[in-house]
Amino acid sequence: MPTTYLMLLWHQHQPFYKNLDDDTYTMPWVRLHALKDYYGMAAMLREFPSVRVTVNLVPSLIVQLEDYVRDAAREEAYDLAFQPAEKLSTEERKRLLYFAFQINRENLLYRYPRFRELYEKAKPWELGVAMAPLFSVEELRDLQVVSQLAWFDEIYLANDPAIRALVEKQRGYSESDQALLKGKEIELMRAVLDEHRAASERGQIELSTSPFYHPILPLLCDTQVAAQSHPGITLPSLPFRHPEDARAQLRAARELHQRVFGRPPRGLWPSEGSVSDEVLKIAAEEGFAWAATDEGVLGRSLGIGLERDGDGTLRDGRELYRPHRFRADGREISLLFRDHQLSDLIGFVYSRMDPDAAAADLCRRIHAAGRTTAGRSAVVSIILDGENAWEFYPRNGREFLRRFYGRVACDPELKTVTASEALEVTEGGSLTHVVPGSWINANFDVWIGSEEDNRAWELLAQARDFFAERSAAPGVSEPKRRLAEQELWIAEGSDWCWWYGPEHSTANDEEFDLLYRRHLGNVYRLLGTLPPDELAVPIKRPRGEALNVPPTGPIEPQVDGVVTNYFEWLGAGVYSPSQRAGSMHGLVTGVDVVYYGYSEEAFCLRLDFNRVFVQEHPDFGIRINFNGDRRARLHVRVRGGAVTALNFWRDERKLAESDWGDNLRAAFGRIFEARFAYQLLGITDQSSVSLQVAIWKDELPFQVIPEHGWLTLQITKELQNW
């Protein structure tokens, strides 16, 4: 029988969680997956010297790992885990519990009796947040330690006596134990890149890359390409067409790979297996020898159906199980196509089986695939995420991988090869066109087409256009221009739109959404302009709807910044923004309630601020926009709990205080109150007021009210004379 060649590619990726504006990490997943997955996936190959694999390391993951290795990463969950337990505030205790229990309970948390005991104590309340005050200092410190140990890699645990001693101790940890543990975390994260480098040098791993911040390259080149793989899809109102960004992210990826590993990569896993003719041509021009994608793209490109028998075996594997050379305009690049079913069995099915039975079943299926090529040697490509699947396996999937690698190493009819080696072992096919698509349904529907996805693309397009117009302007320094460009590249990443839309959701939806909009806002700030208000509007739809009760009668409040009496706002409309995030997410709203109403001569507004927000942010800004076209707007500056500046625009002309006189009054104390004369706003009989409020902090939009649209009040003669 001809040899069946197995090309295994493990894709290692995390989104870019760092906010470049303040150098903080908003989520802990780079660090935690570095502890749990990346090192062990490379280190266990030492047990099987004949097994060869390809590992794809995304540049954005690498640069974040380097931050942690330098101990330069500022991350809330990381800081909370290693602070002295007795110094934790009540709010910090709650946040510690929130982060500690974001973990797979069955396979990670329950392995540690003390961790389970602490979880059971917190369990009566969601995520244990409300129980935080009831934890003793000793319990908090134990939680700090065991919640970190639960993420430690199996192989590292087995080989490090100091870490094993901490595991065996289970309770009664000390601050010196915490210090030891933090040092071991840094040591393990440093070993990630060292182990991959060593495996590459001995020939067991071929290291490949992805575009720097993991963007969907075909959509960067032209969002309209999505209609080729899904005719009739609803596309963003602002097209995004920047193939130069696709090229730049590929070039930056190669440069980083050269710096870290001493040689440029030959291969490319385009983010989410997303390819198009234009992308492949750019990749070839940038020096890549091969790229990989999904079988669905091959089937659509060749116009063939990849039909399978009842047991899942492909009926005719002659095209799928060989590389293809793509040629266009004098450029060429080799393509490998993943077996979708075999890859998904590892990702989603084998975790529920006995490890040895799962490994035997996978080897049987690989052999069956190899027999479908009409006597020619087959290259079976299995490509999947190399981290997220393992938390659903007992013992982090290591027993399954050991049994699988062991069977492959002993099988004379099965040989593992790297992706570059796979190009040489069998006759390849030829392609001059690929139908644009990704590894999910051979289209881009996960990342574009839904209302949320399209809104994200539209905001990105606006920021990209602004960058093009402003980045070369006088007064913009080169460091700020480069940093603004990095912010754009980050916002071009695939992970934002992975979570937007109806397909996926996570407990961190709000954090992802906020971080995306912060990256876009930073583009404007770095180039010397305040970001647009719409960047304060969440893209992800709120979990709870806002409450709006229209005005019921006229009011005449005293504008002094305090609630003078209960009745002065009685009859006003009441708008309560949706509570998208509470204490469990660590996000505090700026304004809790808006009161709005009218008198015979003026429109009146009151903002009741969240007490915690005012305490944490004594300096902030308020923008009040009127009448859709924004022909009137007020900017308020609050410093140290008092209004320090009022600026009013009408028809894009800034009015001096002498121009508005008594027609405008505003005050901030316990609340914010303002009164706008109809004359100042340009409101006449049978007119209306449309209102939008934006709260700003650190020169970035923080909250917009309402989140979508405007609050509108019809002003009629009858209302004025109520």
The model's pLDDT over 449-492, given as tens digits with 9 standing for 90+, comes to: 999 999 999 999 999 999 999 998 888 999 999 999 999 999 99
The verdict on residue 530 lying in a domain is yes
Q: How many domains does the chain have?
A: 2
Judged against a pLDDT cut of 90, whether residue 285 lies above it is answered with: yes
Whether residue 230 lies inside any domain: the answer is no
> Do 520 and 578 sit in the same domain of this protein?
no
- For 628, the domain range is 547-720
What confidence score (pLDDT) does residue 403 get? 98
Helix-helix angle 113-122:137-149, to 10 degrees: 120
- Read off the pLDDT of each residue in 646-671 and give the average, rounded to a whole number: 87
**CA-angle at 273, arms to 102 and 152, nearest 5°:** 30
Q: Is 190 or 555 the better-scoring residue by pLDDT?
A: 190
Residue 1: per-residue pLDDT? 72
Domain contains 578: yes
- At 128 the pLDDT is 54
Establish if 159 belongs to a structural domain: no
Tell me whether residue 327 is in a domain.
Answer: no
Identify whether residues 581 and 639 lie together within a single domain: yes
pLDDT higher at 656 or 89? 89
Helix H or strand E segment including 238:
none
pLDDT band at 500 (very low <50, low <70, confident <90, very high): very high
How far apart CA 300 and CA 232 sit, in angstroms, is 17
Which has more confidence, 685 or 507?
A: 507
Q: Mark whether 558 and 697 lie in a shared domain.
A: yes
Give the pLDDT confidence of 410-458 residue by residue, as tens digits. Answer: 999 999 999 999 999 999 999 999 999 999 999 999 999 999 999 999 9
Same domain for 572 and 486, yes or no, is no
Q: Report residue 696's pLDDT band, with 50, 70 and 90 as the boundaries.
A: confident
* Spatial separation of the C-alpha atoms in residues 353 and 394, rounded to whole Å: 10
Choose the final residue of a domain: 503, 536, 569. Answer: 536
Give SS3 for 408. Answer: helix
Where among 481, 511, 536 does a domain terminate? 536
Query: Are residues 599 and 686 both part of a single domain?
Result: yes
Q: Is the pLDDT of residue 503 over 90?
A: no
Residue 672 lies in a domain: yes
pLDDT of 566-609, one tens digit each? Answer: 678 888 888 888 654 333 233 567 898 999 988 888 899 999 99
Q: Are 528 and 607 in the same domain?
A: no
The partner residues of 378 in beta bridges, in order of sequence, read 4
Which is nearest to 470 in space by CA: 515, 525, 532?
Answer: 525
3-class DSSP assignment, residue 535: helix
Per-residue confidence (pLDDT) for residue 592, from 0 to 100: 87
Question: Distance of CA 471 to CAs 195, 249, 525, 588, Å?
Answer: 40, 18, 11, 33
* Residue 687 resides in a domain: yes
pLDDT of residue 721: 43
559 and 646, same domain (yes or no): yes
254-277 pLDDT, tens digit each:
999 999 999 999 999 999 999 999
Q: Please report whether residue 385 resides in a domain.
A: no
Give the model's pLDDT for residue 235.
Answer: 97
User: What single DSSP character describes residue 88?
Assistant: -
422 vs 417: CA distance, rounded Å:
6
| Cβ–Cβ under 8 Å, residues 219 and 493 | no
CATH number for 522: 1.20.1430.10
Domain edge (last residue) among 536, 565, 587: 536
User: What pLDDT, on the 0 to 100 scale, is given for residue 581?
Assistant: 38
